[in-house]
Structure 1
């Protein structure tokens, strides 16, 4: 008898990834608007983003009205990116740069699927599994999913900016479970973040799976895979 009824996935760096790197994209567009590039700029931008995310509040908002939500998301990201370039070098054309680069990450061409993603999703659907996404991505995720051609595989998409909760908080997992009318023990969550995905899902009562594509040793007590292909035999053992 099949124990797990729903498989949830994180989105970015689990199902798909950026072409190049985030720092490269920001630097590329910043230079076009007046940023003074140095040999250390890429590393500085990457480090500044890490610090800016740690300093920022979660991307959760009081509104779910589409226009107000998109404005809130944009302002949240404006503060993050402004924080980054305040540290690495502000430039006169920053506002125009931000408007352009913000839309870049809503463009499916900026992202690419992992080679095994569609095969795994298609196999799970063919087996009668319900599939969902639980992500701290904002509403730009929807055009990305459509553009990458994988929106059709998912019964639900739960994102932090619409849920007033962000991973690793249990609330966002609970909201996703409610959409499928299942209990936590009937669901699996797969993601690339030890804190947000593995620990967050486990605290909410779901079976958690870490996808880590680096050649790392298995961690005790954690279901770890290095490719989504390995999820299928893992589910058979769980």
Structure 2
């Protein structure tokens, strides 16, 4: 296999939240004099986020929304569900959280990610991102110091389609100037990352601590320090 392009998922592959959403929302609310239980916020967020994704998939782009509006609605509804009803507080609170989530205040690089990216670069691979994220992702990658590793960043918002839709992988292959057989993808989601990439004809690695019976063991990365040896094997 002549591997030329390696594409990456981001959330829980390269980056993770420093704290659970409920705790982060609680801290911002507290700074404004609001006392809201973090567990309640966490539960409310999961419910609101799930409903929003169902009603307005991929940030509501197909229904005339922007990701900015989509997220402001999610945050506001999360607080309302947890008992905060003051609209004069909710809107600036939601806006502040939306902006802060583009910084390294709320995100951290996963252990081994910097080393893995550096090692992939030393192998001469072109690298890119394929992520179901909104327009803030490039800012986040820049703020955590990972942006320099990637030739391009393809989000579901910028492409108009979300994983596991194969179209987003085809767009990445076109941007990378490679055929599927010369590309590989790595991510932590079996459907969105591992399976979808293979349906396009790419190689793919599943980043998971535990082996799955339906995934060959040599396709599984249990930690990012296992990636480089596996890539070398593909490039022989």
Give the corresponding residue for 1:25.
24
Residues 119, 40 of structure 1: alpha-carbon distance in 2 compared, 3 angstrom cutoff: closer
Cα contact 2:49–2:74 (8 A) shared by 1: no
Aligned partners of 1:53 and 1:211: how far apart in 2?
27
Describe how 1:1-238 pairs up with structure 2 within 5 A: 2-33=1-32, 35-38=34-37, 40-49=39-48, 51-55=50-54, 56-59=56-59, 61=61, 72-92=66-86, 93-212=89-208, 214=209, 216-222=210-216, 223-238=219-234
Aligned partners of 1:217 and 1:16: how far apart in 2?
21
Cα contact 1:35–1:89 (8 A) shared by 2: no
Aligned partners of 1:80 and 1:39: how far apart in 2?
16
Residues 91, 29 of structure 1: alpha-carbon distance in 2 compared, 3 angstrom cutoff: farther
Cα contact 2:14–2:110 (8 A) shared by 1: yes
Normalised by the size of structure 1, how large is the TM-score?
0.85
Query: Does the residue aligned with 1:217 lie in a helix, a strand or coil?
Result: coil
Aligned partners of 1:21 and 1:109: how far apart in 2?
13
Aligned partners of 1:39 and 1:101: how far apart in 2?
15
Residues 151, 26 of structure 1: alpha-carbon distance in 2 compared, 3 angstrom cutoff: same
Aligned partners of 1:80 and 1:138: how far apart in 2?
14
Cα contact 2:23–2:38 (8 A) shared by 1: no
Residues 206, 232 of structure 1: alpha-carbon distance in 2 compared, 3 angstrom cutoff: same
Aligned partners of 1:236 and 1:165: how far apart in 2?
32
Residues 60, 54 of structure 1: alpha-carbon distance in 2 compared, 3 angstrom cutoff: closer
Query: Alpha-carbon deviation of 1:39?
Result: 7.1
Query: Alpha-carbon deviation of 1:95?
Result: 0.8
> How many matched pairs?
228
Give the corresponding residue for 1:66.
none
Q: Could you say what the CA RMSD is over the residues aligned between the two structures, in angstroms?
A: 2.4
Residues 42, 60 of structure 1: alpha-carbon distance in 2 compared, 3 angstrom cutoff: closer
Normalised by the size of structure 2, how large is the TM-score?
0.86
Query: Alpha-carbon deviation of 1:208?
Result: 1.9
Aligned partners of 2:24 and 2:38: how far apart in 1?
16
Runs (5+) with no aligned partner, structure 2: none
Cα contact 1:48–1:87 (8 A) shared by 2: no
